[in-house]
Amino acid sequence: MRDGLGRMQRVVVIGGSSAIAVATAARWARAQRGLEVVLCARPSVRRDEAAEQLAALGAVVELVDLDVEGAHAEQAAVMEAVYAGRDVDVVLVAVGVLGDQEQAWQDPQAALRMVDVNTRAPIVHGVLASNQLRRQGHGSLVLISTVAGERVRRSNFVYGATKAGADDFYRGLAQAVAPEGVHVLVVRPGFVRSPMTDGLDEAPLAQTPEEVAEVIAEGVREGREVVWAPAAMRWVMTGLRSVPTPIFRKLPI
Amino acid sequence: MIVIQRKSLMGWGRTSPTVAKVVKASSDEELAEQVRSAGPRGVLARGLGRSYGDAAQNAGGVVLDLTGRDQVLAIDKASGVFTVEAGVSLDSLMRQFIPQGWFVPVTPGTRAVTVGGAIGSDIHGKNHHVKGTFGQHVRSLDLLTGTGEIRTLTPEDELFWATVGGMGLTGVVLRADVAMTPIESAFCSVDTRRCANLADLLVEMADDDAYEYSVAWVDCLARGESLGRSVLTRGRFARPDELPEKKQGHALDFNPRVPLTAPRGIPGGLLNKYSVAAFNEAWFRKAPAHRDGELQSVTTFFHPLDAVADWNRIYGPGGLLQYQVVVPDGAEDTIAACIDAFSNAGAASFLAVLKRFGPQNPGHLSFPTAGWTLALDVPATMSGLGELLDRLDRLVLDVGGKGYLAKDSRMSGETLRTMYPRLPRWQELRHEVDPDGVFQSDLARRLTL
């Protein structure tokens, strides 16, 4: 159970090696000694490093092998075991792949993989997690989305389009599950310096995973439905949304 | 008749809402059926929701709203013992029976609590030093247990004392026999002392036992020499001949006005250390340095905050938290350290309440123990509050003190287990009457009770 100061007792991360998710879990672990963090991801060095980092902060870390590209029945069985434990205060859905964006609109396999990781997996886990939180009558479900889906651009439209599918699903889910005490938060970060963006040129308003984590923690505490990271991104994207298409396409973004 | 509604429930601190199926049932049998058919998220009784944290919430489960069961079933004027349904409020008892010369044995700072809640939290009031807790005035109670049977318990039964202060986790209190206090007027004769600091206050409080009711209000923002400056108010019920002539004919009139309501949608941050310091300063200066025998009404003396309904909303959307602890006699320095810590942190805290408790009763989880209790409200959004209170918990633990479950929303399970060494025995008793763990609450989940 979350306490009266918003401190968590148990957090589940889908995509447990995501830099943003780990930074967020770390923030909560610092506020609450003994925080239980369940990192669900494929086994990897990054997942192990995340576990070590969180354990060093006093968190009790549980590693769960989960392949978000696998059969959904298999994933549901894995998550059933996770959700059979103590109440979950937050489920953080932090799966996503950027990949080679040029290949992604030319190679059907590459395009499908973007759909599988960026759209299908968050939706499957949105369903599984919200079912659990509804049974509990409390808890937050957080999707790490992106600003890129707000208006797709030539440079990363497959990423933007596939993330937008999940983003919209969670916006609707928020409304559907609110009467049962479940809070759904969609987080839309701009450019984040992380392993996902290694080798890319930095965009304006670039930020660290820790800065995004701060925005997420505040959004959860205040029960917001959508937060932008940094906050100014909201106005940038609002502006860009209303730029006429011929001009938008000529912008250096 | 049964009415079922899905609702978001909060405590008085408005900090951690959760959703439950709220059931209003009118008969014992219907309530027993709710208990027998409980799902995996269990059942919990709720009264008027005045506990500050998550004690009266049961996320995802059933919450039995008992406020509709509010009848007075029998009155024995010879013994002063009234048989009442657990959903009746102290407000209702006072409105009905003060005019007949009966007062509740113990009242907290609000009348808006039910008898069931008063037993579950084993509440105390300004007379604890001489009269003990509410539970000590209960002669018997009917408890609906986890197996759906109804047991009548008296103070001879250990389960009675597991239920008194048991936070509703041993079952549903359906009815209770409560020993009321005879009074001759609805006015109190009050002596006031303004104390320059904590040391001054402790000296003044030395003769507390001469008074039926005693409490001190402490300005937690005062620092240095003035640390713990306070106003001590003590009193007793007045005799009719002490009242002004025009009131003598209707000395027992009691008809508190319907309270003002704090507006909705108050933004956060209105209460800050400057606005609160200004309030506290004005309040301190307004108090007389020394005044004896002032006549105050029951509402003024006992329930000043009831004049504004929903006053908890002035803390804005972030909500509030009340920190209340008790430390044994001799540990006055720990009280000073707590006040000092809040003062240093610049906590936007209105007046804290300081009071001397009498001896502990046999309740396993009952809060009051002989010594000093300090209680204060703080905005839940204050930065660094979690660390501050965790640190104070350790200071309190070091001297053998403890915190109060009815106020708690942030203690750790580990701290609780150290503060309440009789918890394992309570858990055994609870398991005996509720082997399947039907009775659950958010507080019980958070603290793994």
pLDDT digits (tens, 9 = 90+) for A16-61: 889 999 999 999 999 998 999 999 999 999 999 999 999 999 999 9
Domain count, chain A: 1
pLDDT surpassing 80 at residue A127: yes
Supply the CATH number for residue A140's domain.
3.40.50.720
Residue of chain A whose alpha carbon sits nearest to that of B445: A1
Is A179's CB within 8 Å of B19's CB? yes
Is A5's CB within 8 Å of B6's CB? no
Task: Tell me which residue in B6, B386, B442 faces A1 most closely, judged by beta carbons.
Answer: B442
Residues of B within 8 A of A180 (CB-CB) are: 6, 19
**What one-letter code names the amino acid at B286?**
K
Residues of A within 8 A of B61 (CB-CB) are: 137
Show the beta-strand stretches assigned E in A118-251: 140-144, 183-189, 226-229
**What one-letter code names the amino acid at B399?**
V
- For B268-331, where are the alpha helices, taking DSSP H only? 273-286, 298-302
Residue B316: band (very low, low, confident or very high) from pLDDT cuts 50, 70, 90: confident
Please report the pLDDT score of residue B354 as a whole number. 95
Is A238 domain-assigned? Answer: yes
Q: What percent of chain A has pLDDT over 70?
A: 100
Is A4's CB within 8 Å of B20's CB? no
Please report the pLDDT score of residue A28 as a whole number. 97
Residue A252: band (very low, low, confident or very high) from pLDDT cuts 50, 70, 90: confident
Interface contacts (A, B; CB < 8 Å): 74
pLDDT surpassing 80 at residue B259: no
Greatest Cα-to-Cα distance within chain B, rounded to the nearest angstrom: 62
Is A3 domain-assigned? Answer: no
Peptide bond into B288 cis (omega under 30): no
Residues of B within 8 A of A5 (CB-CB) are: 15, 321, 380, 385-386, 409-410
3-class SS at B71? coil
**Whether residue A170 lies in the annotated active site:** no
Is the CB of residue B338 less than 8 Å from the CB of residue B368? no
Is A137's CB within 8 Å of B16's CB? no
Is A108 domain-assigned? Answer: yes
Is B19's CB within 8 Å of A4's CB? no
pTM for this entry: 0.94
Please report the pLDDT score of residue B110 as a whole number. 94
Pairwise CA distance, residues B184 & B100, whole Å: 9
Pairwise CA distance, residues B365 & A165, whole Å: 52
Options A28, A83, A159, A191, the catalytic residue: A159
pLDDT surpassing 90 at residue B424: yes
Is A77 domain-assigned? Answer: yes
Residue B57: band (very low, low, confident or very high) from pLDDT cuts 50, 70, 90: very high
Please report the pLDDT score of residue B21 as a whole number. 97
Task: Tell me which residue in B18, B53, B410 faces A138 most closely, judged by beta carbons.
Answer: B18
Looking at chain B, how many residues does it have?
449
Is A1 domain-assigned? Answer: no
3-class SS at B369? coil
**What one-letter code names the amino acid at A191?**
F
Average pLDDT, chain A: 94
Pairwise CA distance, residues A114 & A121, whole Å: 10
**What one-letter code names the amino acid at A17?**
S
**What one-letter code names the amino acid at A146?**
T
Question: Can you tell me the mean pLDDT for B401-405?
Answer: 98
Pairwise CA distance, residues B264 & B310, whole Å: 9
pLDDT surpassing 80 at residue B169: yes
The residue range of the domain holding A169 is: 10-248
Residues of A within 8 A of B391 (CB-CB) are: none
Looking at the complex, report in whole angstroms how far the Cα of residue A134 sits from the nearest Cα belonging to chain B: 7
